[in-house]
């Protein structure tokens, strides 16, 4: 029997910004429960909910202080049970986001580790003695740098000469997966949630679970203060596969969906080991090859005009995975809570409806299980904050700001860069209607709402407009879920048409019938040679078809889903 997620449409919820039911300005589980009918109507049948476990929220829930209880900011354990029950009643499955690479420094394990050097909990973390320089000053054990700060090591409180490892923020100590006792603790937690009825996990940052066991210096040079961010020291190391296999065997069932976030380092060959159908320990590998194909990543010195979608590279990246990993199930997504809004990346606010519709059409009919990020279905776009301080409610930005300032970047440059790249862009409140705060909350939300909710970028108004982005999404999803289309997408051969076209992303699937998507990724008119015969126009985001002498004239962001004769 085919795995259930091959027929699912996923939707990513960032709970703090979805719907505030209890009026404290922060989204919560009851808010999600309120919106289950909406999601069901949209055609969603799989939710990935970003972390909801107890947390001091230094990294917005990815810093867990208690895995066994719901963060009171989001509700109660009872609310989670209600959410699971109500979602299941509507045929919606639920994945929880499980950050196991690290805990919060406020987790009971770490507290015990600090208090008692002989405790078992101390062995759950990676704690090493520091080094001394010629003058006898204490230095971290090696030169590894971290993602959210300079050195990946922090002094172990209460110890004279030890440090603990944190590949993210200092408040998030890494757990030691080479310790079977630690691993068993995580399997117990997973089993607890599977027993409650959770359908799967999005496994956060799993590429980092195994570290280079030598803990020697990275051979790379440079970095701030001599600390280099060298992900090869702690990403996708050989031991990882064994950990994932054990997690599958001891933590979850065969039918539990495991989605692993592997960052940008895993390539298809390794992904096959992780997720080959019927063999790999996990099911979907999230890698970010198709996310930043417009030159925005690290683009601090570029002008906005220099940011342009590289459509050929996008095609290459999707196809590299399809050609080399089609023995795996693959996820399809444009972005998640760690990225800017796709509409502002590959689409355009000047063509909001056209580009939002084009993007979802392009995505849905490629190969894999689609995941829509909350708000994309109404065309939400990046925020236009007017000062850098507005971005500081994310721990990851605090250090980044210091370092950009110390490199001499002025505020305007930083603002320009963050407006187009920062992950805060994806974390503004969901826009439900045109009442105050976009109907997200009755009180001023902790995170500012994007003002464009007053200009039609909200659910309520789009529900009432048959030509809205929302209604288009619903219609497009209904086709993607149709058994015939689903079979064509999953099992029909995928081919790119006119690979070298710099502006148009066109592909077809040859299955029980042939379907073709043609998408103009530009805010201007382009042309596309078409040597087929149209059987049916299934989806189209403009009125009227401009096709003459085998050439399509494609208007800004115009797209088609066609049946080919
Ligand atoms: C999550 C991020 C988080 C990081 C550390 C990532 O992969 O998606 O939001 O900051 O892990 O947990």
The secondary structure of 445-488 as a DSSP string is -SSPPPGGGGGT-SHHHHHH-TTSHHHHHHHHHHHHHSHHHHHH
Q: What is the structure's pLDDT at 225?
A: 84
| Of residues 364, 367, 310, 289, the one with CA closest to residue 501 | 310
- ∠ CA 456-460-465, rounded to 5°: 70
Please report whether residue 389 resides in a domain: yes
User: pLDDT confidence of 223, banded at 50, 70, 90?
Assistant: confident
Whole-number Å distance, alpha carbon 51 to ligand 1 midpoint, is 10
| Strand ordering across the sheet containing 547-548 | 526-529, 551-554, 547-548
Tell me how crowded residue 255 is: count the other CB atoms within 10 A of its CB: 11
Q: What is the mean pLDDT of residues 463-475?
A: 98
Same domain membership, residue 356 and residue 268: yes
Please report whether residue 481 resides in a domain: no
Same domain membership, residue 309 and residue 255: yes
**Domain boundary residue among 471, 500, 527?**
471
Q: Are 476 and 515 in contact (CB under 8 A)?
A: no
Q: What is the structure's pLDDT at 229?
A: 93
Same domain membership, residue 441 and residue 370: yes
Whole-number Å distance, alpha carbon 206 to ligand 1 midpoint, is 10
> Which residue's alpha carbon is at the smallest distance from atom 9 of ligand 1?
338
User: Quick check: is 239 catalytic?
Assistant: no
- ∠ CA 378-379-381, rounded to 5°: 135
Q: Residues 294-318: pLDDT tens digits? A: 999 999 999 999 999 999 999 999 9
User: pLDDT confidence of 149, banded at 50, 70, 90?
Assistant: confident
Same domain membership, residue 263 and residue 285: yes
**Domain boundary residue among 416, 442, 471?**
471
Q: How much is the pTM? A: 0.97
**Cβ neighbours of residue 168 closer than 8 Å, sequence gap 6 or more:** 59, 62, 101, 102, 146, 147, 148, 205
Own/partner long-range contacts of 404-410 (Cβ < 8 Å, ≥24 apart): 404/300, 409/300
Q: Residues 192-211: pLDDT tens digits? A: 999 999 999 999 999 999 99
Which residue did the predictor score with more confidence, 256 or 148? 256
Q: How many domains does the chain have?
A: 3
Same domain membership, residue 92 and residue 26: yes
Q: What is the mean pLDDT of residues 495-507?
A: 98
Q: Are 143 and 223 in contact (CB under 8 A)?
A: yes
Please report whether residue 236 resides in a domain: no
Which residue did the predictor score with more confidence, 149 or 96? 96
Q: What is the structure's pLDDT at 395?
A: 80
Mean pLDDT in the chain?
Answer: 96
List 63, 121, 162, 204, catalytic entry: 204
User: pLDDT confidence of 119, banded at 50, 70, 90?
Assistant: very high
- Give me the CATH number covering residue 516: 2.60.40.1180
Q: What is the structure's pLDDT at 399?
A: 84
Please report whether residue 482 resides in a domain: no
- End-to-end CA separation in angstroms for the chain: 30
Round to whole Å and give the CA distance between 310 and 332.
18
Same domain membership, residue 63 and residue 145: no
- 47 forms bridges with which residues in the sheet? 11, 94
Which atom of ligand 1 has the smallest separation from the CA of 102? 12
> Which residue's alpha carbon is at the smallest distance from atom 6 of ligand 1?
205
List 261, 354, 377, 558, catalytic entry: 261
Same domain membership, residue 407 and residue 555: no
Q: Are 440 and 449 in contact (CB under 8 A)?
A: yes
Q: Residues 350-375: pLDDT tens digits? A: 999 999 999 999 999 999 999 999 99
Q: Are 146 and 229 in contact (CB under 8 A)?
A: yes
Query: Which of the 8 DSSP states describes residue 328?
Result: B
Q: Considering only 116-125, 398-407, 500-509, 514-523, which range has the smallest mean pLDDT?
A: 398-407
Q: Candidates 204, 231, 235, 422: which one to mutate for ligand 1, based on the most atoms within 8 Å of Cβ? A: 204
Q: What is the mean pLDDT of residues 507-529?
A: 97
The ligand 1 site (C-beta within 6 Å) comprises 59, 62, 99, 168, 204-205, 261, 337-338
Please report whether residue 220 resides in a domain: no
Round to whole Å and give the CA distance between 403 and 372.
33
Q: What is the structure's pLDDT at 60?
A: 94
Q: What is the span of the domain harbouring residue 310?
A: 8-101+181-211+241-471
Q: Residues 326-352: pLDDT tens digits? A: 899 999 999 999 999 999 999 999 999
User: pLDDT confidence of 280, banded at 50, 70, 90?
Assistant: very high
Q: What is the mean pLDDT of residues 241-266?
A: 94
Q: What is the structure's pLDDT at 224?
A: 79
Please report whether residue 120 resides in a domain: yes
| Of residues 349, 347, 372, 369, the one with CA closest to residue 559 | 347
Kindly list the distances between the CA atom of residue 72 and the CA atoms of 52, 76, 79, 204, in Å, as whole numbers in the listed order: 9, 6, 10, 21
**Domain boundary residue among 441, 471, 501?**
471
The secondary structure of 130-175 as a DSSP string is -EE-TT--EE-SS-BB-SSSSBSEEE-TT-SSEEEE-SS-TTSPBB
Identify the residue whose tokens are 């996820």.
Answer: 331
Please report whether residue 158 resides in a domain: yes
Same domain membership, residue 464 and residue 323: yes
Q: What is the mean pLDDT of residues 542-561?
A: 98
Identify the residue whose tokens are 């930043």.
Answer: 292
Q: What is the structure's pLDDT at 265?
A: 77
Q: Are 18 and 73 in contact (CB under 8 A)?
A: no
Same domain membership, residue 501 and residue 395: no
For residue 152, the number of C-alpha atoms closer than 13 Å in the C-beta half-sphere is 30
Three-state SS letters, 56-97: CCCCCCCCCCEEEEECCCCCCHHHHHHHHHHHHHCCCEEEEE
Same domain membership, residue 385 and residue 531: no
| Of residues 143, 159, 178, 56, the one with CA closest to residue 105 | 56
Q: Candidates 203, 205, 371: which one to mutate for ligand 1, based on the most atoms within 8 Å of Cβ? A: 205
Which atom of ligand 1 has the smallest separation from the CA of 99? 12
Same domain membership, residue 450 and residue 409: yes
Same domain membership, residue 552 and residue 508: yes
- Give me the CATH number covering residue 154: 3.90.400.10
Please report whether residue 225 resides in a domain: no
**C-alpha dihedral sign at 479, 481, 483, 486:** positive
């Amino acid at each position: 029997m085919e795995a259930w997620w091959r027929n699912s449409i996923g939707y990513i919820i960032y709970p703090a910004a979805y719907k505030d039911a209890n009026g404290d300005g922060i989204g919560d589980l009851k808010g999600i429960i309120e919106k289950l009918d909406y999601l069901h109507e949209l055609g969603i049948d799989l939710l990935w909910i970003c972390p909801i476990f107890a947390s001091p929220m230094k990294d917005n829930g990815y810093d867990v202080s208690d895995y066994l209880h719901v963060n009171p900011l989001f509700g109660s354990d009872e609310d989670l049970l209600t959410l699971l029950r109500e979602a299941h009643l509507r045929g919606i499955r639920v994945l929880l986001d499980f950050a196991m690479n690290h805990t919060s420094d406020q987790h009971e394990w770490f507290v015990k580790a600090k208090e008692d050097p002989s405790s078992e909990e101390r062995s759950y973390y990676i704690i090493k003695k520091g080094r001394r320089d010629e003058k006898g000053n204490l230095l971290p054990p090696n030169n590894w740098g971290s993602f959210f700060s300079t050195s990946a090591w922090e002094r172990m409180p209460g110890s004279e000469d030890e440090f603990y490892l944190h590949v993210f923020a200092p408040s998030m100590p890494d757990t030691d997966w080479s310790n079977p006792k630690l691993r068993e603790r995580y399997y117990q937690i997973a089993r607890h949630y599977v027993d409650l009825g959770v359908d799967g996990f999005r496994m956060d940052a799993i590429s980092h679970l195994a570290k280079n066991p030598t803990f020697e210096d990275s051979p790379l040079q440079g970095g701030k203060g001599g600390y280099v961010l060298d992900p090869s020291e702690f990403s996708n190391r050989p031991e990882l596969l064994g950990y994932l296999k054990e997690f599958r065997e001891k933590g979850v069932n065969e039918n539990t969906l495991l989605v692993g976030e592997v960052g940008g380092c895993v390539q298809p060959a390794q992904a096959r080991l992780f997720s080959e159908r019927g063999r790999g320990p996990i099911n979907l590998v999230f890698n970010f090859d198709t996310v930043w194909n417009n030159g925005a990543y690290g683009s601090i010195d570029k002008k906005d005009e220099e940011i342009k979608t590289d459509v050929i590279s996008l095609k290459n990246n999707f196809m590299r995975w399809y050609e080399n990993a089609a023995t795996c199930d693959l996820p399809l997504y444009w972005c998640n809570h760690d990225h800017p809004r796709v509409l502002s990346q590959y689409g355009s606010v000047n063509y909001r409806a056209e580009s939002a519709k084009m993007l979802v059409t392009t995505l849905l009919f490629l190969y894999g299980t689609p995941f829509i990020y909350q708000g994309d279905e109404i065309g939400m776009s990046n925020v236009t904050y007017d000062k850098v301080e507005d971005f500081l409610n994310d721990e990851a930005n605090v250090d980044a700001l210091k370092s950009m300032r110390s490199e001499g970047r002025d505020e305007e440059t930083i603002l320009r860069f963050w407006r187009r790249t920062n992950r805060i862009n994806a974390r503004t409140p969901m826009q439900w209607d045109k009442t105050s705060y976009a109907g997200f909350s009755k009180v001023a939300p902790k995170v500012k709402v994007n003002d464009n909710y007053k200009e039609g970028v909200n659910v309520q108004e789009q529900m009432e407009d048959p030509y809205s982005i929302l209604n288009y999404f619903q219609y497009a999803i209904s086709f993607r879920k149709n058994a015939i289309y689903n079979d064509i997408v999953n099992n029909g051969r995928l081919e790119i048409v006119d690979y070298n076209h710099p502006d148009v992303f066109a592909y077809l699937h040859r299955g029980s019938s042939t379907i073709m998507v043609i998408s103009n990724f530009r805010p201007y008119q382009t042309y596309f040679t078409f040597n087929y015969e149209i059987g049916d126009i299934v989806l189209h985001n403009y009125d009227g078809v401009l096709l003459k002498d085998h050439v399509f004239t494609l208007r800004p962001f115009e797209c088609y889903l066609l049946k080919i004769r």
